[in-house]
């Protein structure tokens, strides 16, 4: 899977929007962009994924650059419960039909200030 680069940490205030960037300059045309997050002492949680178009769900929005070399996870109104490590992961759509495990990088540690 192609590599991703994320800032080590980010800080935001409660009830404000948060934009978490991810660079993936070597992304291939068949790579999906996935985001997971891990709250302290818990297993990771799926957040969102996309291929080319921007995506929205109840948790977040995913904005994908036109050249797909970067993406941004948007939390529209951060709460204290959003404090977690956020991982941006690329997955080849033909990667064993999704049968391969995930390769986690270091992610971004999001700190939310009250």
Partner 1 sequence: GAVVSQHPSRVICKSGTSVKIECRSLDFQATTMFWYRQFPKQSLMLMATSNEGSKATYEQGVEKDKFLINHASLTLSTLTVTSAHPEDSSFYICSARLSKGTYEQYFGPGTRLTVT
Binding residues (CB under 8 A) for partner 1: these are: 32, 34, 38, 41-46, 49, 87, 91, 93, 97-107
With residue 69 as reference, give the H or E element that holds it: none
Q: What residue has token string 């300059």? A: 25
In the complex with partner 1, which residue's Cβ is closer, 42 or 66? 42
Taking a C-beta distance cutoff of 8 angstroms, is the pair 92, 1 a contact? yes
In the complex with partner 1, which residue's Cβ is closer, 36 or 82? 36
CA 27 to chain centroid: 14
Closest CA relative to residue 74, chosen from 56, 87, 88, 92:
56
In the complex with partner 1, which residue's Cβ is closer, 17 or 105? 105
Q: How far is the CB of 6 from partner 1 (least distance, A)?
A: 11
Q: How far is the CB of 103 from partner 1 (least distance, A)?
A: 7
């Amino acid at each position: 899977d192609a590599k991703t680069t994320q800032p080590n940490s980010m800080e935001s205030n409660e009830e404000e929007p948060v934009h978490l960037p991810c660079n993936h300059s070597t992304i291939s045309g068949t790579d999906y962009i996935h985001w997971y997050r891990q709250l302290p002492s818990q297993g990771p949680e799926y957040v969102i994924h996309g291929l080319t178009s921007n995506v929205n769900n109840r948790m977040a929005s995913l904005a994908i650059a036109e050249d797909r070399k970067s993406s941004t996870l948007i939390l529209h109104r951060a709460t204290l419960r959003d404090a977690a490590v956020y991982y941006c992961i690329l997955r080849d759509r033909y990667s064993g039909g999704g049968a391969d495990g995930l390769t986690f990088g270091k992610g971004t540690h999001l700190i939310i200030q009250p």
